[in-house]
Structure 1
Amino acid sequence: MRVLLSGYDSRGGIEPLVALAVRVRELGAEVRVCAPPDFAERFAAVGVSFVPVGQSLRAMVNAPTPPTAGGLPRRAAAVVAAQFDTVTEAARGCDVLVASGVMPAVAAARSVAELLGIHYVYASFQQLTLPSPHHAPLAYPGYPFPEGETDSQVLWDHDAWSIQALFGAALNTHRAAHGLSPVDNLRDYVITDRPWLATDPALDPWLTPADLEVVQTGAWTLPDVRPLPADLEAFLNAGASPVYVGFGSMPMRGSDIALAAIAAVRAQGRRVLVSRGWADLGLIDDQDDCFGVGEVNHQALFRRVAAVVHHGGAGTTTTATRAGAPQVVVPQMGDQPYWASRVADLGIGAAHDGPMFTTESLSTALRTALTPETRAQATAVAGWIGSDGAIAAAALLLDMASRERPPVPA
């Protein structure tokens, strides 16, 4: 039995595929992954077959000239072309394809599954892409919602129209070249009527009623058993618990980010851990109350910090919540304001107002996160977070793969 996992996303959208790949393999299936070339070493570390697809996302987000909204259809067309070229070959001989990530990439991956007549699953690591009367969709650049509109159905109709306008032509050009009929509602084609939501129900509850039959599996994570580096251990043991500051795959443009963050943490009388991330943040002086970290075991580290300041990616939010660490979320884009609101609503931290912060604004948020009450609530909520959803998802996948395959289009 063979499974292909396809994801075109940043680190937060790829780590869940690492977990699922390992769990699928443990059940005796053969698994391979298509993802951006940035993650070749990550999959090599767990011994999973890896097929690079498309260009480096890190190079894209750190380009001297940031991507513009006007260039989105052109970039999407390149993503669709790369997916058709690479995923088609990687999926041959597979029984099921799981796709996640940016919409044009997943649309191409589903088209490949249709072309080859194999089972397909859409997996989301946040619920805002799934139509529901309980939340609004995310607006695409250049396609803002109608001014003043609050009706849920109108907003979701606008979402479907925007996605079709942005990505439909590129997808249908390649579908025609492969003998597939055009898709006139790309969003619903991608999502299907039974999408998987790979998030923890306590942190991200899916509310009904909704038109979709959502399968919420729990978050896909692997236990990380790597020891912390010796020099990091020495820093942690040399004083009171520090505050961690890191923004993952976000570029965080602006030379004063580290300066403002470190000053804000110091203003609370705390030591600081600065994570380099894709923004390549560094220390601002040689004082011994600061320490820089690179790739490290967050599951172990977050249990030993006073608070976690981060961008609000689904993975980092879940890891910090499971560790019982108070959080300050500085949301940059996409679903990150949603995760910031969940942290604030649960009382396990603070949501910063907007993507850019000053020493003063971050200090204000940290004062909330560092209270004994927030720490107590974070500890309590950590106990609500369920076990690894990748185990359940892997079992569901293999059950699906054992069924009769869908027909190949004539």
Structure 2
Amino acid sequence: MRILLSTYGSRGDVEPVVALGARLQALGAEVRVSVPGDEEFAALCARAGVPLVPAFSPVREWVKEMIRRRTSSPPEGVAALISGQAAEIVARQYDVLAAAAEGCDAVVACGLFPSCAAARLVAEQRGARYILGTFCPIWLPSQHQRPHEYPGHPLPAGVSDNRLLWQTDIATKNALFGEAINSHRASLGLPAVENVRDHVFGDPVLLACDPVLGPWLPSDLTDALQTGAWILADERPLAARLEAFLQAGPPPVYVGFGSIAVASEAGRAAIEAIRALGRRTVIAHGWAELGPIDDGDDCFAVGDVNQQALFRRVCTVMHHGGAGTTLAAARAGAPQVVVPQIGDQPYWARRVAELGIGAAHDGAMPTSQSLSAALATALAPESRVRAGAVAQLIRADGADVAARLLVEALSRR
């Protein structure tokens, strides 16, 4: 049994797929994992023991190029820019996955919609089973929630019926991605698809998030199988210098803002707010290469680190609201301050607040004052008690559940 796993995105998209690959291998499947070929992801695959097939471009290079294009494009041209990017991703990712899928019985795709579209096309041509996986409920059609709003395609004003809004979402995805997908299909002599969203989503969809953090209410609009989050165990020790910093004082606040656009400003504001409260900081470099703002001994900078170990040693985790960081902090029982920007980040911020395990920052641009207010909530004793209680409810077997589902489905096939 051969299975190709594909994703394109940041670490929050890559690590769960690697975790699923490791569990599939443990069940006897032959696995190929196609993720961006960035050095950190190559190391991740090597640590998990899964073979890496690099995607069409390292994601850091791609993101830098997309930022450059967006800053030089007028606001009214963003939708056209997304469509152009989609065409490039579909074509280039198709070439990679077509070779990687040779002899495969199934293709499991996660990450960016155009990358999944390329995987869907490859599976169709190879006669392989295709399954989509996603890490957050908001991306799936449901009468219980509104669809994501894309640039240049606002949801119709005055419409409150979610079913009608999800019908609008079909038209939006056709407008943004339809030409990219159908043009490539035409180049391969394949017929066009009328509804690219449902074509790429397929049936069923694997929802790889924890049911406590991201509950899925049954919907007749999507057949979703919620497996729990796909977690890769991390046994790496913390670096000696970090260990010494942790032992030299009370538990610090962890700050990590990934690749968000305001990371540099948010990092400085975070250190100032934490210092004003008499707390210490562990700050993650991230893509913005954050670090201490001066030579004070109350701040320690880290690169790639074992979050599973570190988050058990901090008093609060301040982050941008990626699915992976939200999960890691919740599993560790660490209260959170979430500073959301785009995508699914506002959803995870809201869930943290609803669960009482931290605070959702109000506003996109944080200041030391606004972060101080959010920290006051996260540092309150009741937040830590609630975070500890929720941690006991988080499942750790999602990757195993998904792997067994896939193996059983393919065995029947």
Residue equivalent to 1:272: 281
> Which structure 1 segments of 5+ residues have no match?
405-410
Tell me the equivalent position of 1:57.
59
In the alignment, what sits opposite 1:164? 174
Aligned to 1:348: 357
CA deviations over 1:268-324 (Å, ceiling 9, x no partner): 221011100111111111111110011000001001101000011111101100110
Correspondences of 1:103-252 after superposition (within 5 Å): 103-252=113-262
User: More displaced, 80-89 or 342-351?
Assistant: 80-89
In the alignment, which of 319, 327, 346 is matched to residue 336 of structure 2?
327
| Aligned mates of 2:295, 2:28 — CA distance in 1 | 51
Partner of 1:46: 48
Q: Secondary structure at the match of 1:220?
A: coil
User: Which secondary structure does the structure 1 equivalent of 2:132 belong to?
Assistant: strand
Matches within 5 A, 1:249-398: 249-252=259-262, 255-398=264-407
Q: Any conservation in 1 of the 2:257–2:267 contact (CA below 8 Å)?
A: no
**Aligned partners of 1:295 and 1:190: how far apart in 2?**
33
Deviations, residues 186-240 of structure 1 (Å, cap 9, x unaligned): 1111112311100111111111243322110000002211000000000000000
SS of equivalent to 1:62: helix
Which amino acid letter does the alignment assign opposite residue 25 of structure 1? Q
8 Å contact from structure 1 (residues 197, 214) kept in 2? yes
Could you say what secondary structure the match of 1:51 adopts?
coil
The CA deviation string for residues 141-191 of structure 1, in whole angstroms up to 9 with x for no partner, is 221112333221222112111111111111111112223221111111111
The code of the aligned residue for 2:292 comes to L
CA apart distance, 1:66: 5.6
Q: Amino acid of the residue matched to residue 181 of structure 1? A: P
SS of the residue corresponding to residue 375 of structure 2 reads helix
The residue type paired with residue 14 of structure 1 is V
- Verify the 8 A CA contact 1:36 1:53 in the aligned structure 2: yes
- What's the CA shift for 1:354? 2.5
The offset of 1:30, in angstroms, is 1.0
Determine whether 1:81 maps to 2:88.
no
CA distance, structure 1, for counterparts of residue 23 and residue 135 of structure 2: 17
Aligned to 2:18: 18
Residue type matched to 1:56 in 2? Answer: P
- CA distance, structure 2, for counterparts of residue 277 and residue 383 of structure 1: 29
Is 1:350–1:369's contact at 8 Å kept on the other side of the alignment? yes
Is the 2:3–2:30 Cα contact (8 Å) retained in structure 1? yes
CA distance in 2, matches of 1:249, 1:24: 30
The separation in 2 between residues aligned to 1:372 and 1:62, in whole angstroms, is 41
What amino acid sits opposite 1:395 in the alignment? R
After the TM superposition, which of the residue ranges 6-15 and 48-57 deviates more from structure 2? Answer: 48-57
Q: What are the superposed Cα offsets for residues 50-74 of structure 1, whole Å, 9 maximum, x if unpaired?
A: 1112222212333562635231111
Structure 1 residue runs of 4 or more that deviate by more than 6 Å after TM superposition? none
Counterpart Cα distance in 1 of 2:69 and 2:255? 23
Residue 123 of structure 1 aligns to a residue whose secondary structure is strand
Q: How far apart are residue 379 of structure 1 and its match?
A: 0.4
Identity value in percent: 56
Secondary structure class of the residue paired with 1:121? strand
Name the counterpart of 1:32.
32
Report which structure shows greater RCO (CA 8 Å, sep ≥6): 1
Count of residues in Structure 1 that have an aligned counterpart in Structure 2: 403
Q: Hey, what's the Cα distance between the residues in 2 that align with 1:249 and 1:397?
A: 32
Q: In the aligned structure 2, how far is the partner of 1:26 from the partner of 1:251?
A: 39
Contact 2:131 2:203 survives alignment (8 Å): no
AA matched with 1:205: P
Instruction: State the distance in 2 between where 1:169 and 1:23 align.
Output: 37
Tell me what 1:71 maps to. 81
Which region of structure 1 is more displaced relative to structure 2, 143-152 or 378-387? 143-152
Q: Secondary structure at the match of 1:37?
A: coil
Following TM superposition, by how much is the alpha carbon of 1:107 offset from its aligned partner in structure 2, in angstroms? Answer: 1.2
Which amino acid letter does the alignment assign opposite residue 214 of structure 2? D
TM-score by length of 1: 0.95
Contact preservation (8 Å) 2:210, 2:229: yes
Q: Deviations over 1:230-269 (max 9, x none)?
A: 000000000000000001233435x433221100111222
**Structure-2 residue corresponding to 1:408:** none
Paired letter, 1:6: S
Assess if the C-alpha contact under 8 Å between 2:308 and 2:328 holds in 1. yes
Secondary structure in 2 aligned to 1:132? coil
SS of equivalent to 1:165: helix
Q: Alpha carbon RMSD of aligned pairs, Å?
A: 1.4
SS at match of 1:308: strand
- Find the residue that maps to 1:49 and give its secondary structure: coil
Report if the CA contact (8 A) 1:96-1:118 is conserved: yes
Greater alpha carbon shift after TM alignment, 42-51 vs 4-13: 42-51
Aligned partner of residue 273 in structure 1, secondary structure = strand
Secondary structure of 1:322's aligned partner: helix
Aligned amino acid, residue 86 of structure 2: A
The Cα offsets for residues 314-373 of structure 1, whole Å up to 9 and x where unpaired, read as 111011001100000000100100000000000000001132100000100000000001
Partners of 1:246 and 1:274 within 8 A in 2: yes
- Secondary structure of the structure 2 residue equivalent to 1:18: helix
C-alpha displacement of 1:139: 1.1
1:104 CA drift (Å):
1.2
Distance in 2 between residues matched to 1:40 and 1:380, nearest whole Å: 35
